[in-house]
């Protein structure tokens, strides 16, 4: 590798790191994306001189780059913000599949040393698991397979698949260089990736996507070691480590270990309707005009967005309501729970699209001490992240999970279609509190009506 190419890879690596750092703040996230994209462009250009390019290969490379640019750009521009988690799952799956494909081609064409073969085997299995798992995650996020799919002996079956993959990997690394056996190895890895994600509820997909993202990073890094590409090593290591840390952070936010997410079949969505809960408590409905009056008379309003906000695509109406209240001298904040929505930062992305000022987005740890001084807490489509059972009921599956303490506000107004339960499948004790009122209906329509009523004074 010549000095200019080595320096180009070094520059790309530095830009990757700076890009990740800038993504840590909403204010600098856009710049972080651009910086990382420039780093990837440099890495791509620096890789070309290292390739043995024939006329046919050059044509394929140009076609591949153009197709990738077009698909990526069109997909990013056309996808709705509510479907951003699905796009992330697809892009992550594409990365894992590409890593596995590179490893497979290298394994088939170059027997190499034990280290080389080990790296290729590792990249193949991890990339294949990430690819098939991400496809299932996409289907769950689309609502096709949202409920956990379980069957008797499922964990034993998955364990048998893992054992078979490990045994084949050891054989391929140590004694055999069999292409047919390698194909079986890849098929089993793909099967395991899909079966691993099937039992997981759709609401746990933020954790799954983050974990699969770290898998893709590890596969890319392994490819980089095998083909001596510094950019792949650095980029893959960054993605792998950051994805792992994010996965652990989200599990901590839910007070659940990763093993519970992956093997607990936790997350069955259920629906219901009516005014009386199984525990005997009664919810108290409120009309839009009454809710608008309470909001207009308040001095400090906190809005808690949840997945229902995304489903209703009501982020613009939420911002309009916040603006109308602010014009009347009301202090408005948005309380953000780290696992609200269907991907990390889902609520931040939706509210950013609606041009909600970053200063109004307050994290859970900062907003909770303010809750006793909040006049009205407006909960839009959130459920388990505001359920007091998390710190009141030791038998609850969400006990110990940090929540936004909406129940401490002077008044709580919850916007929901029905009395449907959240991903934990349990009743929300908040809904039957004396200071809680339910405004039933589509969140978008309800918010638009509140905006109109607040405008009318």
What the block records as the tokens of 270 is: 């259920």
- Distant-in-sequence, close-in-space partners of 112: CB < 8 Å, separation ≥ 6: 106, 120, 226
Q: Note whether 203 and 269 are within 8 A (CB).
A: yes
DSSP per-residue string spanning 406-447? GGGSSEEEEEESSS---TT----GGGGSTTEEEEES-HHHHH
User: How many whole angstroms separate alpha carbon 318 and alpha carbon 44?
Assistant: 42
Can you read off the two tokens belonging to residue 17? 């790191």
Distance CA 325, CA 456 (A): 12
Stated length of the chain: 457
Q: Please list, in sequence order, all residues whose beta carbon lies within 8 angstroms of the beta carbon of residue 440, skipping any fewer than 6 positions away.
A: 285, 416, 417, 418
Q: Assess whether 223 carries a catalytic annotation.
A: no
Identify whether the C-beta of residue 342 lies closer than 8 Å to the C-beta of residue 307.
Answer: yes
For 65-100, b where at least 16 C-beta lie within 10 A, e where not — what string? eeeeeeeeeeeeeeeebbebbbbbbbbbbbbbbbbb
27: CB partners within 8 A, 6+ apart? 358
Q: Which of 223, 384, 393, 442 is catalytic?
A: 384
Sign of CA dihedral 85, 346, 195, 214: positive
HSE-CB for 193 with a 13 A CA cutoff: 31
What are the tokens at 272?
């219901």
Q: How far apart are CA 143 and CA 310, in angstroms?
A: 13
Point out the residues that are catalytic. Answer: 384
């Amino acid at each position: 590798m010549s000095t200019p190419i080595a320096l180009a890879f070094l520059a790309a690596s530095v830009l990757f790191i700076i890009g990740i750092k800038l993504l840590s703040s909403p204010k600098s996230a856009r710049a972080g994306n651009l910086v990382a994209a420039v780093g990837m462009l440099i890495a791509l250009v620096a890789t070309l001189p290292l390739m043995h390019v024939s006329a046919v290969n050059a044509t394929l490379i140009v076609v591949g780059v153009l197709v990738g640019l077009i698909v990526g750009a069109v997909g990013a521009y056309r996808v709705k913000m509510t479907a951003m988690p699905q796009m992330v799952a697809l892009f992550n799956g594409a990365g894992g599949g590409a890593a596995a494909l590179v490893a497979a081609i290298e394994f088939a064409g170059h027997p190499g040393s034990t280290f080389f073969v080990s790296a290729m085997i590792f990249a193949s299995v991890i990339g294949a698991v990430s690819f098939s798992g991400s496809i299932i995650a996409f289907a769950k996020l689309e609502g096709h397979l949202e409920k956990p799919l379980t069957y008797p002996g499922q964990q034993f079956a998955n364990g048998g698949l893992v054992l078979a993959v490990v045994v084949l990997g050891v054989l391929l690394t140590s004694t055999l260089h069999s292409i047919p056996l390698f194909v079986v190895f890849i098929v089993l890895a793909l099967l395991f990736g899909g079966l691993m994600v099937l039992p997981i509820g759709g609401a746990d997909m933020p954790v799954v996507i983050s974990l699969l993202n770290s898998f893709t990073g590890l596969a890319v890094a392994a490819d980089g070691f095998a083909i001596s590409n510094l950019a792949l090593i650095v980029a893959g290591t960054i993605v792998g480590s950051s994805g792992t840390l994010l996965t652990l952070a989200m599990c901590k936010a839910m007070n659940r270990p990763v093993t519970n997410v992956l093997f607990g079949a936790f997350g069955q969505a259920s629906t219901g309707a009516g005014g009386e809960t199984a525990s005997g408590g009664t919810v108290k409905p409120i009309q839009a005009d009454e809710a608008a009056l309470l909001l207009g008379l308040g001095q400090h309003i906190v809005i808690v967005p949840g997945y229902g906000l995304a489903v209703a695509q009501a982020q613009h109406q939420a911002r309009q309501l916040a603006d109308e209240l602010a014009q009347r001298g009301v202090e408005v904040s948005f309380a953000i729970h780290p696992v609200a929505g269907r991907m990390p930062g889902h609520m931040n992305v939706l509210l950013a699209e609606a041009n909600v000022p970053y200063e109004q987005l307050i994290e859970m740890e900062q907003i909770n001490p303010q809750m006793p001084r909040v006049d009205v807490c407006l909960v839009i489509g959130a459920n388990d992240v505001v359920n007091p059972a998390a710190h009141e009921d030791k038998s609850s599956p969400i006990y110990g999970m940090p929540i936004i303490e909406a129940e401490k506000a002077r008044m709580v107004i919850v916007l929901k279609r029905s009395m449907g339960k959240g991903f934990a499948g349990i009743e929300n004790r908040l809904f039957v509190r004396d200071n809680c009122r339910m405004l039933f209906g589509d969140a978008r329509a309800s918010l638009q009506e509140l905006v109109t009523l607040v405008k009318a004074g």
